[in-house]
Amino acid sequence: MADQLPHVFAVILAGGSGTRFWPASRKLRPKQLLSLAQGEEQTLLGATVERISPLVSPESTLISTGSHLISATRAAVPDLPDGAILAEPLAKNTAPCIAWAAQVIARRDPEAKVIVLPSDQHAADAREFRRVLGLALEEADAGRIVTVGVVPTRPETGYGYIQKGPARRGDAFEVSSFKEKPDLETAGTYVESGDYLWNAGMFIFRAADMLSAVARHLPKLSAGLEELSAADPEATSAAAVARYFERAESISIDHGVMEKESALSVVAGDFGWTDLGSWESLWEFWAKDESGNAAGSEDLFIDAERNLVVDLRTERPSEKAAALVSVRDLCVVLTDDGVLVIPRSESQRVREVVRLLQSRGRDQLL
Amino acid sequence: MADQLPHVFAVILAGGSGTRFWPASRKLRPKQLLSLAQGEEQTLLGATVERISPLVSPESTLISTGSHLISATRAAVPDLPDGAILAEPLAKNTAPCIAWAAQVIARRDPEAKVIVLPSDQHAADAREFRRVLGLALEEADAGRIVTVGVVPTRPETGYGYIQKGPARRGDAFEVSSFKEKPDLETAGTYVESGDYLWNAGMFIFRAADMLSAVARHLPKLSAGLEELSAADPEATSAAAVARYFERAESISIDHGVMEKESALSVVAGDFGWTDLGSWESLWEFWAKDESGNAAGSEDLFIDAERNLVVDLRTERPSEKAAALVSVRDLCVVLTDDGVLVIPRSESQRVREVVRLLQSRGRDQLL
């Protein structure tokens, strides 16, 4: 723990209600609470906390999540203290949440710096990931609001891009512009140019700087924060927090603050980043046998190629087996109560399954 | 029960060790002990017993099975008396088993007639099925060994055929010849001619006539039977039965007796017969939705066609669901510990899964 940095806090955004990993993900068990690393028990949230633990102490690590997920979230990060959970009574996108967290943290440490991280990403090279965050914290020390941009490896149309401006230090750059998800051709020109990075949704800043930025760009939200602090200086009492979220505009930190702010930096990072957004992306992420099949347990593939088998059944884990014979490019996902069979290339269509379950009122499968 | 016929016994052959229905079928849970009727709990064996119950009393209904299956078999036919199970210590094909059963029954009732039935078939029209058996019993009364021939509905290459000879009475005919499984062209000529019936493995005879036929055609087996009776007149003591089976030649009743016997009749039957031999045949048997999908529970099909979903998981049965999206002509079979995904047209290849499990020593999945 000798490396942990003074005044550094983390806020991990763990409020997602992912339907993209049905039947594994559910309302009460969203993606960040799943164990999606191959053959591992750890949740994505737990892995995120562990990844930054050399930088940030448990006492300075906060988890932002929805009220309905408090106990499941606590169970996923048992080593964090009780006060680590920031529970949002209402989902109002990221700006109200991050502003609130900045307020809570600034009260605890006026010199605090904050690392905001999604809870559902993977970084293969954790050491490099922390080096990048260290550089981002140096930029934050200079009064910048900082984001991490992932060096793109393909013309991905599913992410936003950040255009680098003039270099500042090391891998840190001014931010020239934010770009929405591009079409394939545009994405290709972005990647070829070398000037663009993937927006990975990570933000690093001094708490006081974020509060100033919120005051400049989202004055109503800032007024709500002041009201919250007036009602409860710690800014954590349930009733005052509920009133704050009820009044808050639903807006992302990207639109509400980043795109309006001028003192922005981006640190380019290349640490084996994966955004686990679909079963297809999990197949890409997992190790595969010589036929391209990816499985988490000792499954049986006979004349089967490029399939993904995710077996999350809790019954008799050492004895179970999935057998795939003469099938190709399928995702097969098993839980105790659900099963999904879908072509890998269409794995986004799992949303249609969730909608069908909703329309049929089969709430216990949601 | 007023219709139950005097002197009529049934012997239901329930020794199969079917691997063709993995992961549902196992060594200790072969096909006849599965519930394969859509949405029903009853086993195939239980349905077979129920189907003949208007003809044969529980006291006259015997189940022949392997020693290792005694308790599972008893559980499937709880209404039969304790003595109903004839346990074979060794599997020696059908002739030793049927001869033994004839001996046991002849001792109990010298005038006994016996209906031998497989335990894993389906008859949609049970009343017509019983009418056919009634006619077969009349033929047996005339001293014939009788088989039931199913009127073929397609040029099936998976069954043996029986060539009809001259008519005797009603739908009863002399047997002209038995034919092994034909190739497709030959099967086509069989079906077109109208002279051939499917061999469904049912045999009806007077117990004494079968014992005479065994004495004529299988003298060694007959000697073994005499030794068994000498050691135990009831022919049921475990040690004597074990010695009988140890010494017995492994041979089918078809090759050992039927193909050598001259006083044979076949009764042509058309009662919605189905031999459930593969997942593919189950798909054919089950009701389907307008897209050709067959399922036993409330599963979810989105842009999916002609699939079979068999969900035998015992956990939370009312809440579970399988979702198939954009897949065609697949069998998806679920148990608590196993899963199979295989194209319908290749469902016989499930044997390769069983062999792979054997080679890997995963005995608990066998």
Question: What's the pLDDT at A58?
Answer: 96
pLDDT bucket at A204, cuts 50 / 70 / 90: very high
The residue among B56 and A157 whose pLDDT is bigger is: B56
Name the residue of chain B whose CA is nearest to A354's CA: B323
Compute the radius of gyration of chain B from its Cα atoms: 21
CB B224 within 8 A of CB B123: no
Q: Say if the Cβ atoms of A316 and B334 lie within 8 Å.
A: no
Question: What's the pLDDT at B343?
Answer: 97
Name the residue of chain B whose CA is nearest to A301's CA: B353
3-state secondary structure A108-161: HCCCCEEEEEECCEEECCHHHHHHHHHHHHHHHHCCCEEEEEECCCCCCCCCCE
Cα–Cα nearest to B203, from B109, B118, B128: B118
Nearest Cα of chain B lies from the Cα of A77 at a distance, in angstroms, of 28
Write the DSSP string, A16-74: ----TTTTT-BTTB-GGGS--STT----HHHHHHHHHTTTS-GGGEEEEEEGGGHHHHH
A22, A322, A341 ranked by CB distance to B327: nearest: A341
Cα–Cα nearest to A270, from A192, A139, A171: A171
Q: Using a pLDDT cut of 90, give the percent of chain A over it.
A: 80
Q: How many CA atoms lie within 13 A of B322 on its CB side?
A: 27
Residues 183-242 of B with CB under 8 A from A: none
Least confident of A187-196, B13-22, B86-95: B13-22
pLDDT digits (tens, 9 = 90+) for B295-310: 977 889 999 999 999 9
Other beta carbons within 10 angstroms of residue B262's beta carbon come to: 9
pLDDT for A151 beyond 90 = yes
Q: Using a pLDDT cut of 90, give the percent of chain B over it.
A: 80
Q: Say if the Cβ atoms of B323 and A362 lie within 8 Å.
A: no
Q: Which single residue is written with the structure tokens 């989902």?
A: A91
Name the residue of chain A whose CA is nearest to B311's CA: A339
Q: Which single residue is written with the structure tokens 């459930």?
A: B276
In the predicted model, what is the mean pLDDT of residues A250-257?
96
Residues 291-310 of B with CB under 8 A from A: 300, 302-303
Tell me the chain A residues in contact with residue B342 when contact means C-beta distances shorter than 8 Å. 323-327
B322, B326, B365 ranked by CB distance to A346: nearest: B326
Q: Say if the Cβ atoms of A341 and B357 lie within 8 Å.
A: no
Tell me the chain A residues in contact with residue B28 when contact means C-beta distances shorter than 8 Å. none
Q: Say if the Cβ atoms of A356 and B316 lie within 8 Å.
A: no
A311, A323, A352 ranked by CB distance to B340: nearest: A323
Q: Say if the Cβ atoms of A340 and B353 lie within 8 Å.
A: no
Q: Which amino acid, residue A359?
A: S
A298, A332, A343 ranked by CB distance to B341: nearest: A332
pTM, full prediction: 0.82
The backbone torsions φ and ψ at residue B228, rounded to the nearest 5 degrees and listed phi first, read -60, -45
Nearest Cα of chain A lies from the Cα of B337 at a distance, in angstroms, of 4
A315, A339, A349 ranked by CB distance to B322: nearest: A339
Question: What's the pLDDT at A1?
Answer: 43
The answer, for A316 touching chain B at a CB cutoff of 8 Å, is yes
Q: Say if the Cβ atoms of B341 and A323 lie within 8 Å.
A: yes
Q: Say if the Cβ atoms of A315 and B322 lie within 8 Å.
A: no
Name the residue of chain B whose CA is nearest to A326's CA: B342
The answer, for B313 touching chain A at a CB cutoff of 8 Å, is yes
Q: Say if the Cβ atoms of B346 and A325 lie within 8 Å.
A: yes
Name the residue of chain B whose CA is nearest to A321's CA: B338
The answer, for B316 touching chain A at a CB cutoff of 8 Å, is yes
The residue among A239 and B4 whose pLDDT is bigger is: A239
pLDDT digits (tens, 9 = 90+) for B278-288: 899 899 889 99
Q: Say if the Cβ atoms of B349 and A332 lie within 8 Å.
A: no
The residue among A100 and B285 whose pLDDT is bigger is: A100
pLDDT digits (tens, 9 = 90+) for B194-213: 999 999 999 999 999 999 99
Q: Say if the Cβ atoms of B362 and A325 lie within 8 Å.
A: no
The DSSP output letter for B235 is S
For A11, A324, B307, B346, the CA distances from B331, given in Å and listed in that order, are: 46, 10, 6, 9
Q: Say if the Cβ atoms of B349 and A326 lie within 8 Å.
A: yes
The answer, for B320 touching chain A at a CB cutoff of 8 Å, is yes
* Cα–Cα distance for residue pair A45/A49, rounded to 1 Å: 6
Q: Is B201 helix (H, G, I), strand (E, B) or coil?
A: strand
User: Is the link from the previous residue into B23 a cis peptide, with omega within 30 of 0?
Assistant: yes
Q: Say if the Cβ atoms of B352 and A325 lie within 8 Å.
A: yes
Cα–Cα nearest to B310, from A356, A344, A339: A339
pLDDT bucket at A3, cuts 50 / 70 / 90: low
The answer, for B343 touching chain A at a CB cutoff of 8 Å, is yes
The answer, for B326 touching chain A at a CB cutoff of 8 Å, is yes
Average pLDDT value over all residues in chain B: 93
Q: Say if the Cβ atoms of A353 and B325 lie within 8 Å.
A: yes
If you count them, how many residues does chain A have?
366
The answer, for A13 touching chain B at a CB cutoff of 8 Å, is no
pLDDT digits (tens, 9 = 90+) for B104-113: 999 999 999 9
The answer, for B321 touching chain A at a CB cutoff of 8 Å, is yes
Q: Is B122 exposed, middle or buried (0-12, 13-18, 19+ CB in 10 A)?
A: buried
Q: Say if the Cβ atoms of B321 and A339 lie within 8 Å.
A: yes
Tell me the chain A residues in contact with residue B352 when contact means C-beta distances shorter than 8 Å. 302, 325
Tell me the chain B residues in contact with residue A298 when contact means C-beta distances shorter than 8 Å. 362
pLDDT digits (tens, 9 = 90+) for B120-148: 899 999 999 999 999 999 999 999 999 99
pLDDT digits (tens, 9 = 90+) for A21-59: 999 998 888 999 998 877 778 899 999 999 999 999 999
Name the residue of chain B whose CA is nearest to A332's CA: B341
pLDDT digits (tens, 9 = 90+) for B72-118: 999 999 999 988 999 999 989 999 999 999 999 999 999 999 999 99
The answer, for B340 touching chain A at a CB cutoff of 8 Å, is yes
The DSSP output letter for B37 is S
Cβ density class A136-146: b for 16+ within 10 Å, e for less: bbbbbeeebbb
In the predicted model, what is the mean pLDDT of residues A285-295?
94
Name the residue of chain B whose CA is nearest to A357's CA: B300
Question: What's the pLDDT at A158?
Answer: 86
